[in-house]
Structure 1
Amino acid sequence: MVRPFHHYNQRLLSRKKNRNHKEDNSFDEFLSKSFVKSQSQPKSLKNISARSKPPPELTLEDSSSRPLPFIQVIRERYRQACRSVLIRTQNPESTVRALASFGPLKFAECVSQDKQYLIAEFSSESCVKKLQESSLFFFETKKFPLVSRCLFDESKGQDQLNRQKRGHKFLLSEENWHSSEPESYPKFASLDEELHHLSEAKGLNDLDIRARFLACVLVEDLFRPLLPEARIIPYGSCLNGFGWWDSDLDMMLCLQGDPYLPGVIKKPGRGGLPGNFKFLTEVFHTERLLAQKTLTMVASLLELGPRFNNVFKILNAHVPIVRFHCATLNLQCDVSVEAMDSIKMTELLYLYSSLDSRVRPLMSGIKQWAVSHGLTSSGEQQKPTTIGLLCLLVFYLQTRSPQVLPTLRALQNATAPSDMFYIDNVVYGIPSNPSVLPESENKETLESLLHGFFLFYSEFDFKSQAISIIEGSTFLKPANSSPLYVENPLSIGFNICKNVSDKYLEAFVDAMKTATRKMESLSEDDSTLAVGEDGSRMTPLCDGSFQGSKLSFLFNSDMTEGDQNVKIEVLDLFAEDGDVNNDFVKDTDLQEGKAELKKKDNDRDEVGSHSKNMTDSVYFEGDADSGHTERNNSSIPQESDSAHAKNIETERAFNKKR
């Protein structure tokens, strides 16, 4: 029996009696741009070929600078990837000129500063096919002759005279590169500006998004002859608006085609007419077994793909995945089988990130703070994950007066019938077009909201209260639940933070209290803090006499209020004895650590060999559904608790000093 969303559980009705916060149906102004930073193309690449004018295409922002619908963004990015190729080049400018002979180019840019790989987008997919048909294989007997969109350009370029004769001056844009050199974190006039700068520096740019969608298409090409209707789509942080450029890529294999793009891939052999014949297919006892068998096939195909290295099958985990490294794009990737709740969660968070220009900078600051204090993890560990932090932020913004973000129930009420969907027989709704939502009256600064976030959760009753972003309120925790309970809004009865232990929740709350005191110490006079109409404490911050970067002071676990005049840069902040994850310093370690591997890769390309660095399959022991699993392969790195222990010791010393 299908349960309507607004009647899905009697428990929700009882929550209304004990809500801790008032609901407000107004939302924030649409000031934020799309998570994709639409940047102008280099002038030299706009008219690479004058033979034909490229057809008009979707832009990723509308004329009013409002974010596009989620489905529209995915559709355009996927089509960009299908028109794109990845070239191993020895001379980027020469390669671009050679590619232009196969058709008009719309985009071309090197993936990184070493200029070894180039992403080029043609005006149509037929140009990609034309290029593939003209390409040859290396004369190497041990190769696997796979036709792909990952190619090697043997030419080493022409001299300057020949370039001038061609009449083109190719200058590949460098604005999208993430520098391999460490950068100091500059001081700005306000914390708002520092948060915006952090968000811009860590966020995904146009090239990052292109690379991630192209990686999905590269994998999809591997099994397209076997599964012509299947699709590989990205999900998670790379699409929800909160991803960082050095984050892993989550892929999802959709066996029945892309749920978002029903018209992109045609179904072969149907002709739109019903028939009497159906394909004989293997049927498995459970969906989990089907996922495991399918991912086993995916892993085998990845081993044959160009530069897909370190392929691991992790099939007995709670969510079976295949993990591998895409060396050409320098991306760590995880492939899983289609799960509607994960796809829709990505869409929901994308909507939240697009509704207000303050949400992404806030999340960037909170995430970097958690990383620098060793409070978060990305795996099945006992610390809060990024998705858990996101839900905590969304709930906090729902409780402001007026609201910054709407509740899921309010979104449901604003959703058209065509946007409704089912998960586990529960009806949900997420508006596909952000423009249908009204604006909010909340005008708090980023400083005020960040301080309020730390204050809110430093005083929150985690022992008895659970968090719901469906209602924007709390409810009594179920019996025998984990220390931190954040209801999964799209999987009723599931706790997003089930893995968090008492130890790490206590550390999390202690760090919140310290962060609250630090931010208050940046104010000239705490007694001047205003009180809102609802009695809640307002938290505007003043610049005061602080001389250094406020974020550096906030992020550094070794600094106290008395140290606020010490100028500290983020470069110093994340280089603490190698214990804290150097997450802000851009891929210096990767560049140094992989210099020898790149040299070997160059040597292999010169002779045309295709060697692999493969490892055995990795499984989890124990009950996969219980959440208590251990790896039996020591080659997979395990996160050390040394950073966390050091942070806790520092915080306790700081508290004693106070």
Structure 2
Amino acid sequence: MVKQWPHTWQPPMRKPWRVEKYPPRLFQGSEWDEASRDIWDKYSRNKQKQTSYEKKVNICRMLSSVLKPVHPGYMFLVTGSTLNGFGTERSDLDICLLVDDSNATSRDEALEHLKRIKQTLENDPSMTKRAELILAKVPILKFRDGRWDVEVDINCNSNVAIRNTHLLYCYSICDWRVRPLVTIVKLWAARHRINDAKNMTISSYSLVLMVIHFLQCGVSPPVLPCLGELYPDMFSWQRHVLEIDVHQPPPEYFQSMNNQPLGKLLLDFFQYYLQFDYSRFALSVRLGTKIPIEECQLAQEVNNGVRQKPLLCIEEPFERTNTAYAVHNHEVFGRITAVFRNSYSELKKTKHLSSIFKRVPQLTFSRYQENEICTF
């Protein structure tokens, strides 16, 4: 029997995860104890707090209460980092608009629905600030909530957003090291300005997939399994989104035999992507391995009328498209890899987390480095 959500469904007003002061295995009496402690402390300071979670849930509830009388067929669901375990205090609120339980909506139809919402919300200036439609491949209505000053992104019938929220949540609870490692990588990337798809760098979603992929096949034994292969029915594209509880855990918890400390895992993360052959392979969390670029659909994206081949390919686990299609500029990609190289060198030398968060001069890239940087 298909689970039916009422149009006002929202996640419960509770904290979806619990974090202790220090995990029992954080300190191992190794040279990485200080870095591991600093990673955990930085994660604890920046992770999404209970109050932020409640604000975001309330925003979605209020949007639903305002919009439902005007648009009775609309359902608003919280997705993304608010629920998947990887949220920070700076994370936006992602909302998926479902229209009449539809599984497919054209881009033009999505734009029309989002325009209707925008017009309705603009009738109450206290609710929204600076509302704008982003005409991306997946259109987004973006605005800042007028009551709690939270950035809100609404998409229309992006069922993949619900599916990957559930998948990432399950990965986030497989091992206690996953959430702090993802959070540190996101904060590090933002610090070095390589965390913005609009500027041809790496989106937060792509960074999360990079960490998960690394933990699946960049260390031995692996820290994370391939959940899609272990539980194909649970993470099947054929499963209706209304059957998905985004906080439903896997039937069995994975117990990793890998005991590497957080600090060493972070160093190995940098090393793995410095040695990755981007010219031949894409990252696949779906399969827990590297796959030929050709198997990642839409590996080439049209930019300014010219079809360009991205320099970084990360397979979306459900749509199997490239989540990193924006990374197609050689100079920008060279800057990204230079940041990876510099951070790897600093962390290996100092074993201090602070060394990779220092402000550094703008790292540059010259064309003669292209072959080296794109193939490693």
Normalising by structure 1, report the TM-score. Answer: 0.46
Which residue identity lines up with residue 335 of structure 1 in the other structure? I
Q: Which residue of 2 aligns with 1:30?
A: none
Q: Check the 8 A contact 1:236/1:342 in 2, yes or no.
A: yes
C-alpha displacement of 1:231: 1.8
Q: Deviations over 1:503-524 (max 9, x none)?
A: 22222222222222212212xx
CA distance in 2, matches of 1:472, 1:489: 10
Q: Check the 8 A contact 1:557/1:647 in 2, yes or no.
A: no
Distance 1:210 1:431, change over 3 A: closer
CA distance in 2, matches of 1:190, 1:243: 24
Q: Give the secondary structure class of the aligned counterpart of 2:63.
A: helix
2:63 is aligned with 1:244:
no
The structure 2 residue matched to 1:551, chosen from 338, 353, 358, is: 353
C-alpha displacement of 1:462: 1.1
Q: Check the 8 A contact 1:486/1:495 in 2, yes or no.
A: yes
2:362 is aligned with 1:647:
yes
CA distance in 2, matches of 1:293, 1:476: 37
Overall identity of the aligned pairs, in %: 24
2:331 is aligned with 1:398:
no
Distance 1:421 1:498, change over 3 A: closer
Q: Which residue of 1 aligns with 2:314?
A: 486
C-alpha displacement of 1:412: 2.7
The one of the two structures with greater contact order (alpha-carbon pairs below 8 A, sep at least 6) is 1
Q: Check the 8 A contact 1:374/1:647 in 2, yes or no.
A: no
Q: Deviations over 1:563-622 (max 9, x none)?
A: xxxxxxxxxxxxxxxxxxxxxxxxxxxxxxxxxxxxxxxxxxxxxxxxxxxxxxxxxxxx
CA distance in 1, matches of 2:111, 2:345: 49
C-alpha displacement of 1:340: 1.0
The structure 2 residue matched to 1:495, chosen from 302, 316, 322, is: 322
Q: Check the 8 A contact 1:485/1:496 in 2, yes or no.
A: yes
Which residue identity lines up with residue 551 of structure 1 in the other structure? L
Which residue identity lines up with residue 305 of structure 1 in the other structure? D
The structure 2 residue matched to 1:470, chosen from 268, 286, 289, is: 286
2:205 is aligned with 1:375:
no
Q: Check the 8 A contact 2:131/2:141 in 1, yes or no.
A: yes
Q: Deviations over 1:153-207 (max 9, x none)?
A: xxxxxxxxxxxxxxxxxxxxxxxxxxxxxxxxxxx96111111111111111111
Q: Which residue of 1 aligns with 2:268?
A: 452
Distance 1:298 1:402, change over 3 A: same
2:21 is aligned with 1:194:
no
Q: Which residue of 2 aligns with 1:40?
A: none
Q: Give the secondary structure class of the aligned counterpart of 1:207.
A: helix
Which residue identity lines up with residue 457 of structure 1 in the other structure? Y
C-alpha displacement of 1:421: 4.3
Q: Which residue of 2 aligns with 1:220?
A: 64
Which residue identity lines up with residue 410 of structure 1 in the other structure? E
CA distance in 2, matches of 1:206, 1:315: 29
C-alpha displacement of 1:408: 4.0
Q: Give the secondary structure class of the aligned counterpart of 1:648.
A: coil
CA distance in 2, matches of 1:242, 1:79: 18
2:149 is aligned with 1:337:
no
Distance 1:520 1:394, change over 3 A: same
CA distance in 2, matches of 1:242, 1:311: 26
The structure 2 residue matched to 1:384, chosen from 181, 196, 202, is: 202
- Taking the TM superposition and a 5 Å limit, the aligned residue runs for 1:419-430 are 420-422=236-238
Q: Which residue of 2 aligns with 1:78?
A: 11
The structure 1 residue matched to 2:259, chosen from 439, 443, 446, is: 443
Q: Which residue of 2 aligns with 1:129?
A: none
Further displaced range: 454-463 or 403-412: 403-412
Q: Deviations over 1:214-255 (max 9, x none)?
A: 001111111222333532111111111111112221111112
Q: Check the 8 A contact 2:144/2:151 in 1, yes or no.
A: yes
Q: Check the 8 A contact 2:220/2:258 in 1, yes or no.
A: yes
Which residue identity lines up with residue 78 of structure 1 in the other structure? P
- Taking the TM superposition and a 5 Å limit, the aligned residue runs for 1:208-607 are 208-256=52-100, 287-305=106-124, 307-314=126-133, 316-377=135-196, 379-399=197-217, 400-413=219-232, 415=233, 420-422=236-238, 432-478=248-294, 481-492=309-320, 494-501=321-328, 502-522=330-350, 550-558=352-360
Which segments of 5 or more consecutive residues in structure 2 lack a partner in the other structure?
15-31, 301-308, 366-376
Q: Check the 8 A contact 1:311/1:322 in 2, yes or no.
A: no
Q: Check the 8 A contact 1:242/1:364 in 2, yes or no.
A: yes
Distance 1:394 1:316, change over 3 A: same
C-alpha displacement of 1:649: 4.8
Q: Give the secondary structure class of the aligned counterpart of 1:232.
A: strand
CA distance in 2, matches of 1:76, 1:253: 12
CA distance in 2, matches of 1:457, 1:216: 37
Which residue identity lines up with residue 293 of structure 2 in the other structure? K
CA distance in 1, matches of 2:105, 2:40: 47
C-alpha displacement of 1:446: 0.3
C-alpha displacement of 1:437: 3.1
Q: Check the 8 A contact 2:134/2:142 in 1, yes or no.
A: no
Q: Which residue of 2 aligns with 1:8?
A: none
Q: Give the secondary structure class of the aligned counterpart of 2:77.
A: strand
Normalising by structure 2, report the TM-score. Answer: 0.78
Which residue identity lines up with residue 207 of structure 1 in the other structure? T
CA distance in 2, matches of 1:288, 1:466: 27
Q: Deviations over 1:90-146 (max 9, x none)?
A: xxxxxxxxxxxxxxxxxxxxxxxxxxxxxxxxxxxxxxxxxxxxxxxxxxxxxxxxx
Distance 1:335 1:404, change over 3 A: same
Q: Check the 8 A contact 1:235/1:250 in 2, yes or no.
A: yes
Q: Check the 8 A contact 2:114/2:156 in 1, yes or no.
A: yes
CA distance in 2, matches of 1:322, 1:521: 45
CA distance in 1, matches of 2:54, 2:337: 38
Greater Rg by CA: 1
Count of residue pairs the alignment pairs up: 326
Q: Check the 8 A contact 1:411/1:431 in 2, yes or no.
A: no
Which residue identity lines up with residue 396 of structure 1 in the other structure? F
Q: Check the 8 A contact 1:296/1:313 in 2, yes or no.
A: no
CA distance in 2, matches of 1:404, 1:358: 9
CA distance in 2, matches of 1:76, 1:312: 24
Which residue identity lines up with residue 122 of structure 2 in the other structure? E
CA distance in 2, matches of 1:465, 1:431: 32
